[in-house]
Structure 1
Amino acid sequence: MAGLLLPAECAGCGAPRIMLCDECGAALYEPGPREVRPDAPPAGLPAVWAATVYADQPRAVLLAHKERGALGLARPLGGALAGAVYAAVRGGGGGGAPDTRRREDDLPLPTPPAVIPSRALPPFLLVPVPSSRRAVAARGHDATRRLALAAAADLRRDGLTVRVAAVLRQCRAVADQSGLGARDRPANLDGALTAVRGAGRLLRTASVVLVDDLMTTGASLAAAAGAVEEAGARVLAAAVVGGPAPLRRPTGGRGDRGATGGRSGRVSGRSPGS
């Protein structure tokens, strides 16, 4: 009701009367799915793919969704995460290196393209990195799980077989990661994550892609990978919306979801601000 009666602002740039403008929506897909790595990666960190760099408009949009409860942003953020997931599955053993050629008719990119996989990929599970119960209660929603569900829905529309398995939880109290330095974060999460009882059977049915909203030091993803592997599952890779500067540039360079595996540049027609 408030959204209908009061003028909204773009979460990325503050433009009035729209939740997410086309320019900021497109920023979620630039420079496109890339493999990223922190400066000092913790032990056990899998290969990580990010849709965009955690800075400027993407950072503002992620914070608006996570901390300020702008739930309508889950769909465009989930679409960006879906592109990183697809790249992670392909790059992590699901079909070889991504094809990163850009088509001229893909430019400009104001909306996320709906894409068709070039060939079938095996089924896989999306396992979101859990937040503490206190953080979820304070925010009023589980931001990472919401993004995982949005990404899975987007990928299923493209014909992939994917499920969300929110089976990890924190088994002891941890400090707020945002208040810790890179050296302290791995120790803070060491042994703090575990799979819920009975999750091993589900996790062993398919390869696992860990998902999170962002990666800074990689400590959370490394801890989640350890918990999944302890449950007897295989972690294929990890995917996030925002990450550090790219580890490497793909040959040819393309910034949209169509960058991987020859996925079509067909545009969906749904606005990022819808």
Structure 2
Amino acid sequence: MRGWWREIAGLVLPVACGGCGRPRTELCEDCRAALCGALPRRVRPTPEPAGLPVVHAAAAYENAVRAVLLAHKERGALPLSRVLGRALAGAVRAGTGRMGSPGPLLLVPVPSSRRAVAARGHDPARRIALAAAGELRRGGMPARVGTVLRQRRPVADQSGLGARQRQANLAGALEVVAGGERLLAAERVVLVDDLLTTGATLTEAARAVDAAGGRGGALSGAGQAAVVAASPSAFEINRNCW
């Protein structure tokens, strides 16, 4: 309900750019270019956790890009999901070229905790994934969103934790929901999150998908195919990879 009120309010109240605050525009051209204007690149955190899938991101997490993500995620600027979805779609296209034979894509968002979703009034990664799937379909690439991952146990707040602490915090925390294995086996899987930092979250998501058999079978005509991951942005720690 909270998300609906935010969307209605955005139609009738004055808006400001989610990146720089410029008045009377949802997102100015300069901030849009910062998010979507560069070619998506492969990014790697330092240190890179074992088991991290190949990750592509559209932009570095800084300045206007950081402001847009925080406006969408924490301040409920829900219309920004459209441009974030466009950026994510570009990262998905960049990452799926290595997946072998063509076929439909299943975008699997990393799940937020129920408490976080309730506090924010929406699920940021899922909302961006839905926008990206629509963008991909309009470009002729079959894609849909599968919310097949869930948290199997509570995890601590990740803010303030280092790379090893995050890995320990998330180890074994995710699982595939009942029936999700069929979706994972039938389509090419792309894990999505709104931000790559240490890579611990995507590593755990990949482990859960792998445990459910989502890396092989119908994903490839000749054996196993890799799960890849995509994000609209990557933390500044990955800057040397751009």
Listed one character per residue, the Cα deviations across residues 204-233 of structure 1 (whole Å, up to 9, x for unaligned) are 001211001010000000000000011111
Q: CA distance change for structure 1 residues 219 and 5 in 2, over 3 Å: closer, same or farther?
A: same
State the secondary structure of the residue aligned to 2:58.
strand
State the secondary structure of the residue aligned to 1:69.
coil
In the alignment, which residue of structure 1 is the partner of 2:29?
A: 22
> What is the rounded CA distance, in whole Å, between the counterparts of 1:69 and 1:4 in structure 2?
13
1:240 to 231, 234, 237: 231
In the alignment, which residue of structure 1 is the partner of 2:59?
A: 52
Amino acid at match of 1:136: V
In the alignment, which residue of structure 2 is the partner of 1:188?
A: 169
| 1:71 pairs with 2:78 | yes
Consecutive unaligned residues in structure 1, runs of 5 or more: 96-120, 250-274
In the alignment, which residue of structure 2 is the partner of 1:81?
A: 88
Percent identity reads 61
CA contact (8 A) 1:204 1:232 kept: yes
> What is the rounded CA distance, in whole Å, between the counterparts of 1:247 and 1:76 in structure 2?
25
Is the deviation greater in 67-76 or in 23-32?
Answer: 23-32
Q: Following TM superposition, by how much is the alpha carbon of 1:84 offset from its aligned partner in structure 2, in angstroms?
A: 0.1
> What is the rounded CA distance, in whole Å, between the counterparts of 2:72 and 2:123 in structure 1?
10
In the alignment, which residue of structure 1 is the partner of 2:205?
A: 224
Q: Following TM superposition, by how much is the alpha carbon of 1:123 offset from its aligned partner in structure 2, in angstroms?
A: 1.6
1:43 to 19, 25, 50: 50
> What is the rounded CA distance, in whole Å, between the counterparts of 2:39 and 2:123 in structure 1?
25
Q: Following TM superposition, by how much is the alpha carbon of 1:85 offset from its aligned partner in structure 2, in angstroms?
A: 0.3
In the alignment, which residue of structure 1 is the partner of 2:123?
A: 142
- Runs of 4 or more off by more than 6 Å in structure 1? none
Q: Following TM superposition, by how much is the alpha carbon of 1:198 offset from its aligned partner in structure 2, in angstroms?
A: 1.2
> What is the rounded CA distance, in whole Å, between the counterparts of 1:168 and 1:93 in structure 2?
21
> What is the rounded CA distance, in whole Å, between the counterparts of 1:30 and 1:187 in structure 2?
36
State the secondary structure of the residue aligned to 1:93.
coil
State the TM-score, normalizing by the size of structure 2: 0.88
CA contact (8 A) 2:206 2:227 kept: no
Greater RCO (Cα-Cα under 8 Å, separation 6 or more): 1
> What is the rounded CA distance, in whole Å, between the counterparts of 1:86 and 1:242 in structure 2?
15
Q: CA distance change for structure 1 residues 211 and 4 in 2, over 3 Å: closer, same or farther?
A: closer
In the alignment, which residue of structure 2 is the partner of 1:212?
A: 193
> What is the rounded CA distance, in whole Å, between the counterparts of 1:153 and 1:94 in structure 2?
22
Q: Following TM superposition, by how much is the alpha carbon of 1:202 offset from its aligned partner in structure 2, in angstroms?
A: 1.2
> What is the rounded CA distance, in whole Å, between the counterparts of 2:99 and 2:121 in structure 1?
36
Where do residues 244-255 of structure 1 align in structure 2 (5 Å cutoff)?
A: 244=235, 245-246=238-239, 248=241
| 1:168 pairs with 2:149 | yes
CA contact (8 A) 1:35 1:247 kept: no
Consecutive unaligned residues in structure 2, runs of 5 or more: 1-7, 216-225
Instruction: Say what the alpha-carbon RMSD is for the aligned residues.
Output: 1.5
More helix per residue: 2
Amino acid at match of 1:207: R
Q: Following TM superposition, by how much is the alpha carbon of 1:5 offset from its aligned partner in structure 2, in angstroms?
A: 4.3
2:99 to 83, 90, 93: 93
Residues paired across the two proteins, number: 223
Listed one character per residue, the Cα deviations across residues 146-186 of structure 1 (whole Å, up to 9, x for unaligned) are 00000000000011111211110001010011231222000
> What is the rounded CA distance, in whole Å, between the counterparts of 1:6 and 1:156 in structure 2?
31
CA contact (8 A) 1:125 1:207 kept: yes
